[in-house]
Chain A
Amino acid sequence: MLDSVDRTLLQASGISMRLGRLQLLEQVSLSVSEGEIVTVIGPNGAGKTTLLRILLGLLPASSGCVVKCPRLQVGYLPQHLTVDPVLPLSVTRMMTLTAAHPRKQIQSALEETGVAHLINEPVQGLSGGEFQRMMLARTLLGNPELLVLDEPVQGVDYMGEAKLYELIGRIRDRHGCGVLMVSHDLHVVMASTDRVVCLNRHVCCEGQPEEVSLHPEYLRLFGLESGTTLAVYTHHHDHTHHLSGAVHPEHHHTETGSGGQP
């Protein structure tokens, strides 16, 4: 809204999704512009992954429409990807899963996400953070204009989470691509996101992270479950103005306090 000079990469309007009697999504509208990081947050079962899949064209919506830039190059990091140990797969192989790429390009993509030293390792030996960094490097291979990241920090410890979000911010700066990601909580993602969409089947509220964090709808969804979450949250909020992304030890309590999803 603020930076209207940037090209809109993806525009979804009035997306609804019904599955039997279940209303998964209702009248969801969302847009991502070039160079913008949009984060969708919401409780479990809020329809975040369903929404991403509709936006990617993997699922047909019951109603509504998605308009994408012509020939939009999308890099996708899916949720809950684990490679069965029975399948021998190296990092290089994972990078070239759907298309061949020159080794130099693979190397530089992995360098960018800081895991180039793992290039010949079996993917099952990677830690949660290393795996997600490899997957992030994968999304860079096709020179994407839009990154769609479904829970990019899953399986990553708290310290790693903040670093990974920083990395996503740097990737956006370097490549100028738009980023649409799903996150389970606002606390860590806050410093590196431009716009937050709070989703609970419908868009509850939307705006800059500071606005959303004070929005009554957001507080109703995330805050009122436990009083401590709200208290610690405010504390965290104070800090983000001074140190962008810097992690304080107290924040670890924030994570454990708000970790229990509704």
Chain B
Amino acid sequence: MILDDFFWRALLAGAGVALAAGPLGCFVVWRRMAYFGDTMAHSSLLGVALGFLLGIDLMLGVFAVVLVVALLLFAFQQQRQLAGDAVLGTLSHASLALGVLVISLMPWVRVDLMSYLFGDILAVTVEDLLWIYGGGVVALGVLLWIWRPLLAVTVDEALAQAEGIPAMRLQLLFMLLIAGLIALALKIVGILLVTSLLIIPATAARRYSRTPEQMAVGAALVGVVSVGLGLTTSLHFDTPSGPSIVVAAVIFFLFSVVPLPRSS
């Protein structure tokens, strides 16, 4: 069976995450939340650590911690007393350092830090696949459901609110989705590269899109093809798979920014 082969499992897992990351990543880019996403991703190591400490599922630990960090960030954004990027930077590195610290304080846990930092897609299990596709379908379903109002909030929060859209609730829901995606994508590209799956395919798809929906679909496609290319490269040249996927996506991005002779 196809799922018995680690390469196909990796490919399916990567494609699943990329399909969900594309449209969600578009919103991250549109809402200028790239660094925000990075901060959430960095905090996931603390989630891994807490997962080990409490003996709960690591994905659940990551999801919980990322969500708490996201809510903290959101609260900070609302009060506007401290500069946004300073808060992001502080939380981002505080949670990463704290994560490494907590893991090092548990000598009984043998953790391959590298596999969390850069992903371990070749170790994906069938259970992981179920999580990714189950979670991915839910995430995309919710996104589809809130698509129009979330887009309106993205264009202008005050305008959307004045026209009866619950901006606050939508933004919280969106952060829930991003937290979920980060938890799912952790194994694929790792903590340090998770945001790249959100941002790079979306940015690469921008040039060829005339509507937000085209960009979302384009981003999903770029993501899936990048996973395929990256994994194939990884298999043939024995390169680390997570970074190979990211580099493949970056190549798409470069193609999209290089001026073409017949650009519209």
**Interface, chain A (partner B; CB < 8 A):** 53, 56, 58, 74, 76, 78, 81, 83-84, 86-90, 93-94, 97-99, 122, 142, 148
Question: Chain B interface secondary structure, helix, strand, loop or mixed?
Answer: helix
Whether A97 lies near B151 (C-beta < 8 A) is yes
A93 CA to B155 CA, complexed, in Å: 11
The A/B interface has a contact count, at CB < 8 Å, of: 62
- Shortest beta-carbon distance from B195 to chain A in Å: 16
A84 CA to B215 CA, complexed, in Å: 14
Is B112 close to A, CB under 8 A? no
Pairs of residues from A and B, 6 with the lowest C-beta to C-beta distance, nearest first: A76-B162, A98-B163, A97-B152, A87-B30, A78-B158, A98-B152
Whether A78 lies near B159 (C-beta < 8 A) is yes
Whether B158 lies near A88 (C-beta < 8 A) is no
- Shortest beta-carbon distance from B239 to chain A in Å: 30
Whether B32 lies near A88 (C-beta < 8 A) is no
Question: Chain A interface secondary structure, helix, strand, loop or mixed?
Answer: loop
Whether A86 lies near B29 (C-beta < 8 A) is yes
Which residues from A are CB-within-8-Å of B164? Answer: 98
Which residues from A are CB-within-8-Å of B29? Answer: 86
A98 CA to B151 CA, complexed, in Å: 8
Decide yes or no: A89 and B212 within 8 Å by CB, A76-B163, A84-B30, A98-B164 being known contacts.
Answer: yes
Which residues from B are CB-within-8-Å of A98? Answer: 148-149, 152, 159-160, 163-165
Whether B212 lies near A88 (C-beta < 8 A) is yes
Contact partner of B158 among A58, A84, A93, A142, CB < 8 A?
A: A58
Interface residue stretch chosen among B65-73, B95-103, B203-211, B229-237: B203-211
Whether B162 lies near A78 (C-beta < 8 A) is yes
A54 CA to B259 CA, complexed, in Å: 47
Which residues from B are CB-within-8-Å of A97? Answer: 148, 151-152, 155, 159-160, 163
Whether B161 lies near A87 (C-beta < 8 A) is no
Is B57 close to A, CB under 8 A? no
Whether B155 lies near A94 (C-beta < 8 A) is yes
A78 CA to B157 CA, complexed, in Å: 10
Which residues from A are CB-within-8-Å of B165? Answer: 98
Whether A87 lies near B159 (C-beta < 8 A) is no
Whether B210 lies near A90 (C-beta < 8 A) is yes
**Interface, chain B (partner A; CB < 8 A):** 29-30, 32, 148-149, 151-152, 154-156, 158-165, 203, 206, 209-212, 214-215
A96 (CB) vs chain B CBs: closest residue:
B148
Which residues from A are CB-within-8-Å of B149? Answer: 98
Which residues from A are CB-within-8-Å of B162? Answer: 56, 58, 74, 76, 78, 148
A100 (CB) vs chain B CBs: closest residue:
B148
A113 CA to B151 CA, complexed, in Å: 25
Decide yes or no: A87 and B156 within 8 Å by CB, A98-B148, A98-B164 being known contacts.
Answer: no
Whether A87 lies near B155 (C-beta < 8 A) is yes
A76 (CB) vs chain B CBs: closest residue:
B162
B163 (CB) vs chain A CBs: closest residue:
A98
Which residues from A are CB-within-8-Å of B215? Answer: 88
Which residues from A are CB-within-8-Å of B163? Answer: 76, 97-99, 142
B161 (CB) vs chain A CBs: closest residue:
A58
Decide yes or no: A88 and B159 within 8 Å by CB, A93-B211, A97-B152, A98-B148 being known contacts.
Answer: no
Whether A88 lies near B210 (C-beta < 8 A) is yes
A209 CA to B15 CA, complexed, in Å: 64
Given A76-B162, A97-B160, A97-B163, output 6 extra A-B contacts at Cβ < 8 Å.
A58-B158, A88-B209, A88-B212, A88-B214, A94-B155, A98-B165
Whether B203 lies near A93 (C-beta < 8 A) is no
Decide yes or no: A83 and B155 within 8 Å by CB, A76-B163, A88-B212, A98-B149 being known contacts.
Answer: yes
Whether A88 lies near B203 (C-beta < 8 A) is no
Which residues from B are CB-within-8-Å of A148? Answer: 162
Which residues from B are CB-within-8-Å of A89? Answer: 155, 211-212
Whether B155 lies near A90 (C-beta < 8 A) is no
A94 CA to B155 CA, complexed, in Å: 9
Which residues from A are CB-within-8-Å of B32? Answer: 84
Which residues from A are CB-within-8-Å of B212? Answer: 87-89, 93
- Shortest beta-carbon distance from B99 to chain A in Å: 31
Q: Give 15 CB contacts A-B under 8 Å.
A: A53-B158, A56-B162, A58-B162, A74-B162, A78-B158, A78-B162, A81-B155, A87-B154, A88-B214, A90-B210, A93-B212, A97-B148, A97-B151, A98-B163, A122-B210
